[in-house]
Amino acid sequence: MIYTLNAVTKVYPTRGATVRALNGVNLEVSAGECVALIGQSGVGKSTLFRLLNATQRPTGGLLCFNGQEVGKMSGRELREMRRTVGTVYQQHYLVPSLSVLDNALCGRLGSWSLLHTVRNAMSPAKHDVEVAMGVLESVGLADKRRVRADELSGGQQQRLAIARALMQNPDVMLADEPVASLDPALAEAITNLLVRLVTDSKRTLIVSLHGIELARRHFPRIVGLRQGTVAFDVQSASLNRDMLDEVFQPDRPQMQIKESTQTDASQGRKICCAR
């Protein structure tokens, strides 16, 4: 098992109320799997990704990576785990003022020494440039290597973000809504690219998506999230209407559950009365 999650919770402390983003998630993902996560905005998908790439800590429950408990890792082990997990974000999170090549090279920071980083910041080593150009080639950006990242189009930026994650040579690829801000044709192309790049090299892929059709077409396993828990976890062939209804119930507020004070609720009622 690459990931084992047992009753994982994540609570964000905010003023007046605590926001429970994840509420007991149980999930197992084995090496080489391709999993799609679906669910409405605010059900905790992004939070889940931040736990899976160890940029945040779970509040409760057990999260294991390759059989090792994440909560007991040392700083060095955490960094090593982050290096083996590549993450692609919805808004790609590129460094705007760096060139395409430099952004791709950023993916290798985890395996460089500080001295090598400084040297490469001034002028990149030949070997590193070759690796980066190979990866940029595979996402179709080789000819743009000198362009500033913020001068790329949305689809190109997303491909660059994928290239940066690939530069890590990761065992696991995580992609949080990688196509949410792209048009349907581009979304299809990017999803295709991700799946192809990952399955070619037998990596594990976990992607969160809005489009159910996209998920069903490309991913053998689909996990539905609702209110911070796993609502269903099925083969995509057996996905049915009821399951989708459960996850995408339109009439129920599905934003984060707020454990707020009671006055909040009663005030809400008062406003209703006033209407």
Partner 1 sequence: MQAKGAKFAVLASGLSVPHKRRVFARRRLAGASALVAALILCWWVAEVHPSALFEAGAMASVWSFLRGLFPPDLSLGFLRVTVAAVGQTLAIAVVSTVLSIVIGLPLGVLSSATLWRRGVLHEGENESSGMHLIPVVSRLSRALLGFLRAVPDLVWALLFVVGVGLGSLAGALGLAIAYGGVLGRVYADVFDDVDSRPVEALYASGATRAQIFLRAISPQAGPRITAYTLYSFECSLRAASVLGFVGAGGIGYEINLSMRLFDYGQVLTLILAFVALLSANDALSRFLRQRLSTGAPGRSSVRRLMESALSSAVEWTPRGRSHAVGGAATRIMWLIFATAIFASFYAIGFADGRLFDVGILERAARFLGAMFPPDLDLAFLSSLVKPFFQTIGISVIGTLIGIAFGAFFAPFATSTLVFVATDAAGKHSLAQRGARSLIYYAARLVLTLLRSIPELVWVLICILAVGLGPFAGTLAIGIHTGGVLGKLYAETLEEIPLKPIEALRASGARPLQILFWGMWPQARPMLTSYTVLRWETNLRVSTILGLVGGGGLGQIIYINIQLGFYARLLTLIAVIYGLVLAADGITDRLRRRLASA
Beta bridge partners of 233: 223
Stretch that binds partner 1, among 89-97, 179-187, 234-242, 250-258 (CB under 8 A): 89-97
Residue with tokens 């001034």: 122
- Which of residues 41, 55, 199, 267 is near partner 1 by CB under 8 A? 55
Q: Is the dihedral of CA 232, 238, 239, 240 positive or negative?
A: negative
> Is residue 185 within the footprint of partner 1 (CB under 8 A)?
no
33 vs 176, beta carbon nearer partner 1: 176
Q: How many residues interact with partner 1 (rule CB under 8 A)?
A: 53
Considering the complex, state which of residue 30 and residue 55 has its C-beta at the smaller distance from partner 1: 55
Stretch that binds partner 1, among 70-78, 152-160, 225-233, 240-248 (CB under 8 A): 70-78
Instruction: Name residues contacting partner 1, limited to 244-263 (CB under 8 A).
Output: none
Token pair for 169: 């040579």
**Cα(50)–Cα(180) distance, integer angstroms:** 18
Interacting residue with partner 1 among 1, 41, 68, 79 (CB under 8 A): 79
Site string for partner 1, 199-238 (x = CB under 8 A): ----------------------------------------
According to the binding rule CB under 8 A, does residue 15 interact with partner 1?
A: no
Site for partner 1 in 99-128 (CB under 8 A): 99, 101-102, 106-107, 109-112, 114, 117-118, 121
Radius of gyration of the chain (CA): 20
Nearest-CA neighbor of 93 among 137, 49, 47, 150?
150
Q: Which of residues 145-174 bind partner 1 (CB under 8 A)?
A: 146-149, 161, 164-165, 168
| Edge-first strand listing for the sheet containing 60-65 | 68-69, 60-65, 3-13, 18-29, 257-259
Q: Is residue 43 within 8 Å of 54, Cβ to Cβ?
A: no
β partners of residue 99: 148
Q: Which amino acid is at 246?
A: E
Calpha distance 191→254 (Å, rounded): 26
Residue 49 amino acid letter: F
Applying CB under 8 A, among 85, 141, 173, 179 the residue interacting with partner 1 is 85
**Reading across the β-sheet that carries 172-176, which strands appear in turn?**
85-88, 172-176, 204-209, 34-38, 221-226, 229-235
**Is 83 among the residues that bind partner 1 (CB under 8 A)?**
yes
Q: Is residue 78 a contact residue for partner 1 (CB under 8 A)?
A: yes
Residues that bind partner 1 (CB under 8 A): 50, 53-57, 71-75, 78-87, 89, 91, 93-99, 101-102, 106-107, 109-112, 114, 117-118, 121, 146-149, 161, 164-165, 168, 271, 274-275
